[in-house]
Amino acid sequence: MTPKREDPVPPRSLRKLAPPPSFFAPVAELTEEEAREELAWLAREIERHDRLYYLHDRPEISDAEYDALKLRNRAIEARFPHLVRPDSPSLRVGAPPAEEFGKIRHAVPMFTLDNAMEEGDLRDWVARIRRLLGIDPEAPLAYVAEPKMDGLSCSLRYEHGLLVSAATRGDGYTGEDVTANVRTIREIPQHLMTDRPPPVLEVRGEVYMNRDDFDRLNAERAARGEPLFANPRNAAAGSLRQLDSRVTAARPLRFFVWGWGEADPPVTGTYSAFLERVRELGFPVNPLTRRCTDEAELIAYHDELEQRRFELPYDIDGVVDKLDDIALQERLGFVQRTPRWAIAHKFSPQKAFTRIRDITVQVGRTGALTPVAELEPVTVGGVVVRRATLHNEDYIAAKDIRIGDTVVVQRAGDVIPQVVEVVREKRPPDSRPFAFPDRCPVCGSLAIRPPGEAVRRCTGGLFCPAQRVERLKHFVGRRAFDIEGLGRKQIPRLMEAGILESPVDLFRLPKDRERLQRLAGLEGWGERKIRNLLAMIEARRHVPLDRFVFALGIRYVGEVNARILARHYRRFEAWRVAMEKLAAGDARVRAELEAIEGIGPTIAEALAEFFREPRNRRLVDELAGEIEIEPVAAPAAAASPLAGKTIVFTGELTRMTRGEAKERAEALGAKVAGSVSRRTDFVVVGADPGSKLARARELGVRIVSEEEWYDIVGAT
């Protein structure tokens, strides 16, 4: 049975307010003060009727009466344009197009979730929570389970009750400013429905589109000869990220709350109580959300939703499970950007049968050769799949995958298509095993497979056109230098035209007349587009160290590891010197690097390999000469007694878990290492310490008792 979308009872905040006395007077006779008062009433009253109609299916007035309210609001704004409110109903129909999205820095980063793909993964998560908190397996512990919406995450900021900004997740730290578009979504309140709004409240949730609305939208686009959206999630994301908010206003977008960011006063109590509170403030909360008391209930809820997922009016790809107690959430904290207190319990992948037309081999930005199955198009989970990954040559050999085979295809995590099984009885009689190439299909360089690795790699480096293209795409990507106007199609064109060969060319382009003339000669590159590109390049001449490190595309150095390195070395100069020494074989630098929590020997060796190559060192230095690489601030204020200190823990702490102690130290600006070195500032010793204590004494490192540690961090 399909659940109803509306809440069972409208919240108290939807109570009707009497109109001001001026409401019955002609607009031409209103004083400015009367107009101001009436616009405030109209904004709230029209939004109240929107919510009664769209969320609760309980309209109180006719369409004609509703239109009359909006017409009066528009007439008053036309006479007093300086009185237009941020929550004006007129803003819900969209505004003229913007040239580009602005950026909004999240006051509190937007986290990502770890996945539980199997029931055992969920049980492990529950056991880990109890272990970290020191809670007995039989002790009661409450959770909240909610459908994992397949949409686009968005953060809404309210100040003193008014919606002031809205941003996409972006890289988790900085998102796109989509405020004008979010104002057009009728399920999102322009102001909080309370007479006592908090000074600040950031409400976070998922923007999505119902399947019926998606089908109607695609039918309309087909009738106009426009490209169709692949699925409701793409339609929602594309609609929210329109530069013309009038387009967004015409799209049937919806919203469900799943969390919060910055809040003053802080959110306390339980997550289930928070959801009830925001529902009263006017936000839609998924009615299928359920409070569970143990892992058995969590698993039962997951299995129930998996059976019912196609009965729901919207797409979901799993269940999000969260610890209900917010104080316990804060104790558990995060691992990098992933909360320990929440997990996404995914559904089993959806599958379909199709035939492999061909097997091609792609070359990635690190030189990895990846085989791809070119398929006869097939629909898997509502998405037409034409290609699927074959992972590597061992995967092909183990499953004996051949051109012409009929295969089972699934979307891993409902996202990445992959071939999982061959239907042998349908194999053509003349088929042959696939021979994996030992030469790069792009540049012809030798493709080698390092011992112990499953991936074969091209040795052509930056001389390989495929790697140059992919490295540049990565460099200008949203999570690296974020240079808009240089998408996946533009980079190859500019390289073919000789305008770009390396990242340095980007920052030299504004002063290179010859290349600018070539750019102006390319189709689609008019004066305005070139001007916008040059402005974007200039804006990116200042970049934080972590983004710079990530943009280089060093193997194994993703966003998280780039941020760890940046926080450890703080300044580009310190990092650059350390990397030079690492490449030269400096044992002390390597030991320090490997001791950084989250780095280790594999990443240290990848960094060494990168900086052993003279062309890479030259590239880094040339880039540093063209831009300003900003230092990364310590995670906590410089006034913290731990800011900049390197700490090692050994032994068992009695008043907090090791994980909690690490989180507390990092929050105060410290670096927590896994081993003791001469650069360690002090070692915190608990009960039954190990060899780290002896090493600290040997090196003369300061040793701190557990009680001294609590005094330092102010623990009570």
CB distance 709 to 651 below 8 Å:
no
529 in catalytic set: no
Cα(463)–Cα(136) distance, rounded to whole angstroms?
58
Residue 264 CA from chain centroid, whole number = 24
Helix/strand/coil for 123: helix
Those residues whose C-beta lies under 8 Å from the C-beta of residue 412, and which sit 6 or more positions away, are 349, 418
Long-range contacts of 639-643 (CB under 8 A, 24+ apart): 640/668, 640/669, 641/668, 641/712, 642/668, 642/669, 642/670, 642/712, 642/713, 643/668, 643/669, 643/670
Those residues whose C-beta lies under 8 Å from the C-beta of residue 267, and which sit 6 or more positions away, are 260, 274, 326
- b/e sequence 270-300, b meaning 16+ C-beta within 10 Å: bbbebbebbbbbbbbbbebbbebeebeebbe
Cα(85)–Cα(645) distance, rounded to whole angstroms?
49
Which string of DSSP letters, residue by residue, matches 658-675?
HHHHHHHHHHTT-EEBSS
Q: Which DSSP symbol is given to 267?
A: P
CB distance 311 to 2 below 8 Å:
yes
Question: What CA–CA distances, in Å, run from 611 to 533, 594, 604, 620, 694?
Answer: 30, 16, 11, 9, 35
**Segments of 527-622 assigned E as strands:** 542-544
Cα(321)–Cα(302) distance, rounded to whole angstroms?
9
List the one residue out of 184, 201, 185, 190 whose CA is nearest residue 44.
190
CB distance 209 to 151 below 8 Å:
yes
CB distance 201 to 160 below 8 Å:
no
Cα(273)–Cα(15) distance, rounded to whole angstroms?
22
Pick left, alpha or beta for residue 482 (phi over 0 → left; psi -120 to 50 → alpha; otherwise beta): left
Which string of DSSP letters, residue by residue, matches 466-534?
HHHHHHHHHHHSTTTT--TT--TTHHHHHHHTTS-SSHHHHHHGGG-HHHHHHHHTSTT--HHHHHHHH
CB distance 664 to 656 below 8 Å:
yes
Q: Which of 148, 346, 473, 662 is catalytic?
A: 148
Which string of DSSP letters, residue by residue, matches 329-364?
HHHH-EETTEETTEEEEEPPPPEEEEEEEEEEEEE-
Determine how β-strand 316-323 pairs with β-strand 143-149.
antiparallel
Active site residues: 148
